[in-house]
Structures are given as structure tokens and as C-alpha cells.
A and B are shown apart, each in its own frame.
Chain A
């Protein structure tokens, strides 16, 4: 059976109730989180999708619900196509199945999801923060996490700012 992008899209639509659409020539599929593990297994084993090119998330707080979209960029090297799978996740403390056993490359990406978005990854071999310090509070890439800035220190407010500056822990 010749594998091309169309057959993959049909397969995901038929078996996993995915919804496909296109923007600027790039195919995007919306997939329910309960199917992601099985879908990626079938992609690798039956459709020659060898690579998980990228994995990240978008936070739509507070405008849209479901709040998170997880973005999987799949790539088939032998058949030469790429497509995106979007997995919507409800709630402020969502969880998602790990696909590390299928695509080992997902390991650090999923740690980054936990670190940056606070998305719990089920059955992950080593779910720790990856970029932020392990005692960090909050998940920086969430939209309700403020960007923050540093106030410029002039002579007139030097003392006041000096008092508020964070100090290393004892």
C-alpha cells in the first residue's frame, strides 16, 4: 500500500475521530487526548512515520476552552511528508499520556511540557523540570504567568529597590 499524507489523514479520521484542516499548505489534525498513544503507535508501525520532529503546547487561557493545545509535529522520512497533530486538553492541571516508549525523542519534550506548562505526563520515565530550577514555583509559558521586569535603579529610588531585590537563599 502506498503511504502518503492523504492515507494517513484518512486513517486517523476513520479510526481515531480526528478532524483535519489545512492552513498555508500544512495539514493539521485535531485529536482527542485519549487516542494519542494508540494513534502514534499506529503511525510509527503502519504508516512509516519514524520521527517526532517537535512537541510543544499553546496556552489559550483565558479566551478559549479547552485551555491547552499540545502540538505534535510528525515527520515521515521515507515518504517525505510532515503534518501536525493538535491535542486539546481541558482544565488547569491537565494530564496526558507519554509517547516516550514509541518515540524516545519525546522524553525531553514532555519534560519541557511539564516544566513550562504544568502538564502532567502519565507514565513518563523521568518527569522532572528540565530548564527551570527544580524548586521553581509556577510554569513560565502559561499565559497567566506574568512576564515580569526589573525596575530601573536611579539615585532617588536606589535604597527602596535595593531592599526589594531577591537574595540568594541561606
Chain B
């Protein structure tokens, strides 16, 4: 990357850059289409229903049909919206979700950037999505969407702190914020989930809140807020909000894999003949689909307990984890 910045870019390099981005985008879109299918199938299975089974074999084309439908739908724009912000919001919400994938090391060969502050980059860029949510909620000029946006913003900001602090133990162990270095450290030692089990618990709970998934889906809360900040959106703009949500699922699954489950590393060196990218995708897809399981299992948390839980339970736990890790690293290792 850095040498591309200092040199002149040839047409070939431009082509490679654009091609690499397009391949990632296509993969992510494919993931989103089938994540929605799996979500509906898993929910159906856990609730004793069949799930989508009409379009294509096993209903495999259901989401494709749904996507086409929302793309072709007439865009309904309410009269009293704040137009510039209303049009901009879906893109501000979506763009960061795709940009954060740039720092994820998918395998030793497939790495888009090698940023020295990769982990912080993820957190910083992901926080911009909050702006998109607020933008959408405010510009819709609707009380449900405004309440939903305020809830989402408050929750995303307060859960960002335990999210970062939960992962600080990993950073401390590896001595680097670079996600490649963190995987390399795990290659020499053990997967971080073993020494950092407490950090992992805090991180994963905070990640669920960041993703607005059950039990923290208060910003959508379809039974009380209709659909939160997205309520005035329809057609392709609504699709962008949904897209952003599901891309974040994949991104967060990838981040959990990299930080705590050894990234592209196989569970045992003897299984190293299977390429790293396969291991990475297996783990990342597992963690990306885990929230669907939770969605069918947990009720929604109460809004007044939400902030208390973050500030009085998760943050102290993360601090304890951090102090123990620092102590072990300084005196025992």
C-alpha cells in the first residue's frame, strides 16, 4: 500500500486494486444473501417451522427474489423528510461496514492492508456508522425513528468502551495493534480465547450490542418502535441499511476470529494441509451466524438495564481482565 502511495500507479495496478475490491464486495454480497437465508432457516427450525422453501430448491433463491423486489420497488419518500440527510444516511451507514473489512487478514495471502493500528482502525471506522443511523433517524422526521436512532447511538457509544477494553488484553499479550501480528502471536503460543476467556466474553457481549442483535436489538424493537430508525425508508435505501447490518455481522465474526480464535490458523498443526482461508471462513461464518441462534433463544433486554449492564458489569470485568493480563505478562512470563 505504502509504496503504491509514493509511486506512480500504472494502469495494471489500478486494475488490480479495483478487481480486488470488486471481488471482496461480491463475496460480501453473496454472504449477506445467504446469511439472511440461514437466519430465516435457523429461526424457523428452532421455532418448529419450515422457513423459506418456495423459491428455488430448498428456498435457496428466496433472498435473491427479495433483493430483486426491494431494488425494483418504488422509492417512497415521505413529504417532511430532511432530503439531503435522508438520501445520504443509508450510504453513510453502509460504507464503513465495507471499509472495515480492509484491515481483516483473511489468510497470509489474502490481506488487503497491513496497518500498524489495524484494530483501532476497525473500531474507529465502525463508529462512523452511528452517524448514519442518527442521520437516518433524524432526517426521517418521525418520532419512532428518532427514538430508535437515539437508542442506537447511545447503545453503540457506551458498548464501544467494553468492546475495546475486552480486546485490550489480546493487544497486551501480542504487543501490537496490528491484526496480522496478533494472528502471528497466536501461531507461536495458543489461541487467545484460552488465556483471554474473560476478555472474549466481554468482547462478544459488547459486539452483540454493537451489531444491534438480540438481546440488544432495542433500536429496532419491532413490537414497540415499529422498526426504529429505518421506519421511513423503503426500497433500495432500506436495503442499504439491511446490507450494512449484515456486512457488520461478517466483519464482527472476522474480528472475533482474528482476535481470539487464531484467524487463519488450523486448530491443530496437523490439519495445516487445508488452506488458511478455509479455516478463516469456517470460524468467521460460525461467529457471524451465532447471533441468529441467540435471536431465537433470548428475549430482548430491558432498556433501563442496558446502560447499567455496560457500565457496571462489562467495563469492570474488562478492567479486571486487563489488570490480570498485565500482571501475568509483567511478572510471570
Say whether A and B bind each other: no
Which residues of B line the A interface, CB within 8 A?
Answer: none
